[in-house]
Amino acid sequence: MTKGKMALAAALMGVSASAWGANAPVNVPELMKSFSGNAIKSVADWESVRNPEILEAYRTEVFGVRPKAADERKRVSFEVFDVGEAMDGRAVRKQVRIRYAGPHGQFAFPVTVYIPKGKAPSPAFVYAAIYHDTVVDKDGCVVKSRFWPAEEIISRGYATAAFMVTNVAADAKAGFSQGVFPSVQPEGERTADSWATISAWAWAASRVMDWIEAEPLIDAKRVGIVGHSRGGKTAIWTGANDRRFAMVCSNDSGCSGAKLNHINLPRSESIAKITNRFPYWFCVNYRRHVGREMEMPFDQHELLALIAPRLLCVASATNDAWAGPEGEWWSAKLASPAWELYGKKGLVADSMPAPGAPQQEGCVSYHLRAGGHDLSPYDWKCYMDFADRHGWRPAAP
């Protein structure tokens, strides 16, 4: 596309072409028009038509449909098997086994929780832990992770709960006979739109929320879900399905997460590449979109818009072309009209920021970190600063 055309495409969308990158989206599906072509003009239209149809599209075409039994609250119970002091007495540590009595069997997974002392009930961040230096103990509880600065989170007055996603569903091909899957549905009954691994990980985050709702030391109305990369895709899908999460933090989630598809970013991951390496993250139907990004009738800004009117953070890193920072920024920007319907501001910015200059004025935050594919203390600082801005910071004791 020529420069002139790019500027025109950008202008048509009411925003200027990014200063950081040269790419602008192309023919993006309209957020405020239903799949059948009706204008979406009000919160009522959004909530009765558009939000449900986008959710349905992502369920049937991307992440798979989770069987109803998976989300039945009566099947979930908790065992707090360890309570103690941690962090030199600054926090309470709880280790919880979340049990699920499925129609086809029992399943359980552990969660590690730290809660600041003397500040109850605390706002909290649930962290969906993935690979990389995540140390788990013999019970499967997360002990530490380079991506999870638990002490810093506590010192800022937030509680935090981490679970290891691979305790819920294997991060591997042929994983549907393991983890939570067989307790919900026999493998032989799977179809082209059956739930897949990212949906199972998001399921676990919702079960952590079930526990939080029953835990008096945490304020269930101020809980964010944080995930990096495959965990970022999981965080978005968690918040899209479970409105109890008041904030979603997508850290470098990239392809099938925050990155827009209707944009030409050749160095970023494509649907062909992701479904080839990680077919089990998605339902089989997703393969219909391989090589057809520009023809898709829905796109990731619509997925992000499902978080409205709650808080959303999208983060990228300068040396993470694979995740497509420009595509992530554009999704956040193009999702913003959903917040405006509610009389709120979405992402308040006309172009990508410089690294280290977060855009946090509205209810959608975007930041670009200098560096590579990572979830660093700086990213967490941005998430906590944003929560603070929205009044989540607990009053001083």
Contact positions toward ligand GTR, by CB under 6 A?
229-230, 254-255, 269, 274
Strand intervals (E) in the chain: 76-86, 91-102, 105-116, 122-129, 135-136, 142-144, 159-164, 218-228, 247-251, 311-317, 364-369
Sheet holding 76-86, edge to edge: 76-86, 91-102, 105-116, 159-164, 122-129, 218-228, 247-251, 311-317, 364-369
Q: Which is nearer to ligand GTR, 194 or 251 (CB)?
A: 251
DSSP assignment string, 171-219: SSTTGGGSTTHHHHS-GGG--TTB--HHHHHHHHHHHHHHHHHT-TTEE
Q: Which is nearer to ligand GTR, 210 or 269 (CB)?
A: 269
Burial class (CB in 10 A: 0-12, 13-18, 19+), 391: exposed
Element (H, E) at 272: helix 271-277
Q: Which is nearer to ligand GTR, 57 or 272 (CB)?
A: 272
Residue 22, classed as helix, strand or coil, is: coil
Q: Which is nearer to ligand GTR, 234 or 359 (CB)?
A: 234
Q: Which is nearer to ligand GTR, 134 or 229 (CB)?
A: 229
For residues 150 and 115, the answer to whether their CB atoms sit within 8 Å is no
Beta bridge partners of 223: 124
Count of alpha carbons within 13 angstroms of residue 345, beta-carbon side: 9
Shortest distance, CB of residue 349 to ligand GTR, whole angstroms?
25
Long-range pairs, 352-358, Cβ under 8 A, ≥24: 352/18, 352/19, 352/20, 352/21, 352/325, 352/326, 353/20, 354/20, 355/318, 358/382, 358/385, 358/386
CA–CA dist 180, 31 (Å, integer): 34
Q: Which is nearer to ligand GTR, 287 or 393 (CB)?
A: 287
Shortest distance, CB of residue 177 to ligand GTR, whole angstroms?
23
CA–CA dist 92, 94 (Å, integer): 7
How many contiguous H segments (helices) and E segments (strands) does the chain have? 12, 11
Shortest distance, CB of residue 267 to ligand GTR, whole angstroms?
12
Shortest distance, CB of residue 253 to ligand GTR, whole angstroms?
7
Bridge-based pairing of strands 122-129 and 218-228 is: parallel
Count of alpha carbons within 13 angstroms of residue 41, beta-carbon side: 3
Shortest distance, CB of residue 229 to ligand GTR, whole angstroms?
3
Q: Which is nearer to ligand GTR, 10 or 196 (CB)?
A: 196
Shortest distance, CB of residue 78 to ligand GTR, whole angstroms?
29
Q: Which is nearer to ligand GTR, 182 or 279 (CB)?
A: 279
Q: Which residue is nearest to ligand GTR (CB)?
A: 229
Q: Which is nearer to ligand GTR, 325 or 394 (CB)?
A: 325
Q: Which is nearer to ligand GTR, 166 or 185 (CB)?
A: 166
Shortest distance, CB of residue 269 to ligand GTR, whole angstroms?
5
Shortest distance, CB of residue 126 to ligand GTR, whole angstroms?
18
